[in-house]
Structure 1
Amino acid sequence: MARQIITHFTSIALLAVAGTACAQQAPPPDATLNSRLTGDLTPTHDPVIIREGDSYHVFSTGHGKRLIETRSSKDLIHWTAGDPVFTALPAWATNAIPGGEGMWAPDISYVDGRHRLYYSVSTFGSNRSAIGLATSATLDPKAPGYGWRDEGLVVMSTRTSDYNAIDPNFVIDREGRHWLTLGSFWTGIKLFELDRKTGKPLHPDKPYSIARRPAPVGGPAPIEAPFIIDHGGYYWLMASYDYCCKGVNSTYYTVIGRSKAITGPYLGKDGSSMMNGGGTIFLRADLQEQQRWRGPGHAGWLHDRDGKDYVVYHAYDKQQNGAPTLRIAPVRWGADGWPVAEY
């Protein structure tokens, strides 16, 4: 996630919900998926998506007593908000991160019979941060076995660390090894190999560095929100550049690079290295003549059962006072082998 969700988004979201409740003309049949989304779309920040049975589930950053927001849909179009995953931080998190502000930037996957939900706890502008893990047998609150069990601390960074332990993403490589990528600002994106049984790092002091943006003297290095996809013999790394959390003034955008090895190097279409702030732009703000959807970023991915791919992300809606809003776009793979988001 992002470094912090500005607290006024809660009131902004209420305005956005009121706005979306107004009657609108139905979109044309050839409209984009994004233009057809309806229901509980705000506030959505740092979304990830997964399918269980005939339902799609989106998890996103939460605050107050709604720690990890949840939404579900049967068709990827109509979305309904559900109960939060937690209503209070676990004791280990409040002890590790005093003043921790919500649960940020979750990641969801299904591993060995249980869903794994990684999440971040931090405070604004600090790399005293931690990633935790919760698991549940099912995502359906009405199903037997439903219930989130907190599995405790996974990775922690401190003020002496050169990285920030937020924005986790879990991935399994083609050899069956488990990995967690993470990072926000500081020296960029890191990759930890995990113990398959516990979902926690095998070598917590020896992460790989896979992407960074060299910072100007005395300035920040705005890169965060990694997500790794396995497709076509390559691993693809998405990351968000520049700044989120500023409503319509957000400058977030998403880049992508690819590598034959999960540990990198990740290169853009032009050969530019993501270890040097390179990569290929994948999601960007609307063209200046429209200017509605600002700061598209913190992207997640769904490879659906029918073989179709989707990217899920948030953007700030200029028509709704900058509310952070759920966005989903189909992805097609071009003749050159690179992904194109149809948003």
Structure 2
Amino acid sequence: MARQIISALTGIALFTAALPAIAQPSSAPATLNSQLTGDLVPTHDPVIAREGDIYHVFSTGHGKRLIETRSSPDLIRWTAGDPIFTALPDWAKQAIPGSDGMWAPDISYVNGRYRLYYSVSTFGSNRSAIGLATSPTLDPKAKNYGWRDEGLVVLSTKDDDYNAIDPNFIIDRDGRHWLTLGSFWTGIKLFELDPKTGKPKDPQAKPFSIARRPAPAGGPAPVEAPFIVDHGGYYWLMVSYDYCCKGVNSSYYTVMGRSKAITGPYLGKDGSPLMEGGGTIFLRADLQEQQRFRGPGHAGWLHDKDGKDYVVYHAYDKQANGAPTLRIAPVRWGADGWPQADY
């Protein structure tokens, strides 16, 4: 019986081998996001930088982990590190009573030191502050590593029409230093900075308004998390629309507009002004049931040493109870001059 079974199987194998090959559908190439491993959660409001051969991500932190840190040798394998601070600076405790976190950091390298801008606030309030910390290196193992708090940069109160959170620093093509910020209220603002201090050049000067969503009757129209990129003769402004922080019910998405001047006006591909809630969708919100990662937003940017561009952001993972998760996507610049994220 065994010989008969073996003989039959052999015959089937020979018959199968004689059949013409059937082409198998090719699988789509893996995205960078599909390859990310390691300590990806919790990551909220991320920014990214590269020092030497190591990539560093900084994100919102609470309690005794004030500004979460992660590092990677290849953009794929991520390892959590120690927080930047374990307690709020005294000035922040006094300025913003009740706060227990440092939110939405921004990282850049200026005049031989890394500048890390951060937010201190309480949820839903515009009694908020942006602070600044600096370090000569991002490498915790380096002898000269160490973050020095430089104090208050911008403060907002209930008497202001903006909210001093979500900072982003940029040097324009004329060498002027700027900080954009904002969340809800009357939208996104832009302050000119003193290049030496990293703080407002004229504390009494009124900031520029560069993005706003006019509120419909009966409710707000959220806009926040600005980030400005200099590319191809334009300044590109990314902002997040709608709501974060609701887990899988988050409706966050990211839009983009461009301007020849850093102060605006920023327009979407169709000419819609960001000052009127316009812009072109860059990272979309998809709340369909099959979509695993919800509410992609609070985007940061990396122009890598090899010339490639990446967008870093968070999204809420449906398969992990809506945990805010690190996401990174390469960016391609299309023939029309507009960017597209491969996410």
**Partner residue in 2 for 1:300:** 300
Structure 2 SS opposite 1:34: helix
Give the superposition deviation at 1:284.
1.1
Q: What amino acid does structure 1 have at the position aligned with 2:176?
A: R
Q: Which runs of 4+ in 1 moved over 3 A?
A: none
Give the structure 2 partner of residue 23 of structure 1: none
For residue 30 of structure 1, give the secondary structure of its aligned residue in structure 2.
coil
Q: Distance in 1 between matches of 2:295 and 2:341?
A: 15
Which residue is 2:318 aligned to? Answer: 318
Aligned to 1:22: none
Output the CA distance in 2 between the equivalents of 1:29 and 1:89. Answer: 46
SS across alignment from 2:62? coil
Partner of 2:222: 222
Alignment of 1:12-51 (within 5 A): 30-51=29-50
| Contact 1:163/1:185, CA 8 A, preserved across alignment | yes
Q: Which residue of 1 aligns with 2:136?
A: 137
Q: Distance in 2 between matches of 1:96 and 1:308?
A: 40
User: How many angstroms apart in 2 are the aligned matches of 1:246 and 1:276?
Assistant: 25
Q: Specify the code of the residue in structure 1 equivalent to 2:233.
A: G
Cα distance in 2 for residues equivalent to 1:137 and 1:29: 42
Q: C-alpha separation between the residues in 2 aligned to 1:114 and 1:29?
A: 42
Distance in 1 (alpha carbons) for counterparts of 2:53 and 2:106: 20
**Alpha-carbon distance between aligned partners in 1 of 2:273 and 2:29, rounded to the nearest angstrom:** 37
Aligned residue in 2 for 1:175 = 174
Counterpart of 1:264 in structure 2 is 264
Q: CA deviation at 1:286?
A: 4.0
Which position in structure 1 is the counterpart of 2:288?
A: 288
- Superposed CA offset, 1:189-240 (max 9, x none): 0000000000001123410000000012342230000000000000000000
What is residue 11 of structure 1 aligned with on the other side?
none
Structure 2 residue 246 is matched with structure 1 residue 250: no
Q: What pairs with 1:1-343 in structure 2 (closer than 5 Å)?
A: 30-205=29-204, 206-286=206-286, 288=288, 290-343=290-343
Task: Give 2:10's aligned residue.
Answer: none
**Can you list the C-alpha shifts for 1:256-306, whole angstroms capped at 9, x where unaligned?**
000000000000000000000000000013473621110000000000000
Aligned length: 316
Give the AA of the match of 1:191: L
TM-score normalised by L of structure 2: 0.91
Letter in 2 for 1:49: I
In the TM superposition, what is the alpha-carbon distance from 1:65 to its structure 2 partner? 0.3
Deviations 1:59-82 (A, max 9, x none): 000001000000000000000000
- Secondary structure (helix, strand or coil) at the match of 1:118 reads strand
Kept after mapping to 1: 8 A contact 2:88/2:100: no
Computing the radius of gyration from Cα coordinates, the structure with the larger value is 2
**AA partner of residue 325 (structure 1):** T
Give the % identical residues: 86
CA RMSD, Structure 1 to Structure 2 (Å):
1.1
Gap runs ≥5 in structure 2: 1-26
| CA shift digits 1:153-208 (9 cap, x unpaired) | 00000000000000000000000100000000000000000000000011234100
Secondary structure of the residue aligned to 2:332 is strand
SS in 2 for 1:103: strand
Q: Which fold has the larger relative contact order, with Cα–Cα distance below 8 Å and residues 6 or more apart in sequence?
A: 1
Residue ranges of structure 1 left out of the alignment (5+ in a row): 1-27
Q: State the TM-score, normalizing by the size of structure 1.
A: 0.91
User: Which secondary structure state, in structure 2, belongs to the residue aligned with residue 225 of structure 1?
Assistant: strand
Deviations 1:67-120 (A, max 9, x none): 000000000000000000000000000000000130000000000000000000
